[in-house]
Amino acid sequence: MKIGPVTLDTPFILAPLAGYTDLPFRLLCREMKAGLTVSEMISCHGLVYGQQKTMAMMQTVPEERPFAIQLFGNDPEIMGQAAHIVSTHPVDIIDINMGCPVRKVVKKGSGAALMKDLNRAEAIIRTVINNTELPVTVKFRSGWTESSINAPEFAMMAENAGAAAVTVHARTWSQMFGGSADRDVIARVKEAASIPVIGNGDILSYEQGIEMMKETGCDAVMIGRGALGNPWVFQPDGRPETLDKRLPVLLRHLELAGQYLDTDRLLFRIKNHAARYLSGLPGAAGIRQQIIQCPSLQEMKHLLQDLKT
């Protein structure tokens, strides 16, 4: 699988998840064989104004590469300036978010709102491409509502504008995260486009990823929620059944968090990740309670290490 000049080792990609896909989790997923990782969505305005919190979201390390940075915004000029800034950082791909359904984002004409305005969407893609040497990809949804599904047409627009690949989260804006992803839309996008198509939505296991590629013909799959507490989703054998076998990966996650995050400020985020590793295990509820009560990352590590048999 290639995106422009960038070769992916595997066609399994970690989806951008705001609030979750920070450097430690992305690195862990790369170690667990994800072929590509994507930053959380980054505001083009935040980048152009040089906001420190926004700049920090571009943090990466050589072991993570290939790495994509996702931008969102509705102003072609500012998006172009942001693309130029991104290009001066160690990054392999720029992805443009045209699928975010959150009210705050669509109200400003960004994210999924761009699926209703193909001219503006095209201007954004072209301006971003004109401001970077990096391959540019576009992530969008099936369409705005059930009665206005336009993902195939949108993909062709993106391709003609010069996009190197597209990702389709096969839900409409109006579905938000409800219902289920419609694989038929991914198949239709694949038929319409000649650039690589990445299928996305509801993949919970490696087999389901393979199944989506077979069923729709898409070239790669992107996994979001299914990777939370389950970075084994990028491997054929999947998540182990016992706590003992899960602990080394969870402890590795905590080690990376300690290395790269402000763990005092983001302890709640680390706890949220950690609790998800226990899913389906006997005694999970009790251990989760203990995790929640930990006052520091160090204590969390001790707690989990003591659970080893």
Ligand X SMILES: Cc1cc2nc3c(=O)[nH]c(=O)nc-3n(C[C@H](O)[C@H](O)[C@H](O)COP(=O)(O)O)c2cc1C
Catalog residues that contact ligand X under the rule CB under 6 A. Answer: 15-19, 40-41, 70, 97, 99-100, 139, 169, 200-203, 223-226
Element (H, E) at 80: helix 76-87
CA-to-CA distance for 183 and 201, rounded, in angstroms? 9
CA-to-CA distance for 157 and 179, rounded, in angstroms? 27
Is 294 an annotated catalytic residue?
Answer: no
* Residue of 29, 44, 100, 294 marked active site: 100
Whose CB is nearest to ligand X?
A: 224
CA atoms within 13 A on the CB side of 65: 9
131 versus 175: smaller Cβ distance to ligand X: 175
Taking 3-state DSSP, the helix, strand and coil percentages for the chain, each rounded to the nearest 5, stand at 50, 15, 35
CB of 151 to ligand X, least distance (A): 13
CB of 34 to ligand X, least distance (A): 12
CB of 73 to ligand X, least distance (A): 13
Q: Where are the beta strands (DSSP E) in the chain?
A: 2-3, 6-7, 12-14, 37-43, 67-72, 93-98, 136-143, 165-172, 197-200, 220-223
CB of 227 to ligand X, least distance (A): 8
The tokens for 196 are: 């690589």
10 versus 290: smaller Cβ distance to ligand X: 10
113 versus 304: smaller Cβ distance to ligand X: 113
First to last CA, the chain: 41
| SS3 (DSSP) at 266 | coil
Residue found under tokens 């077979």: 214
Catalytic residues: 100
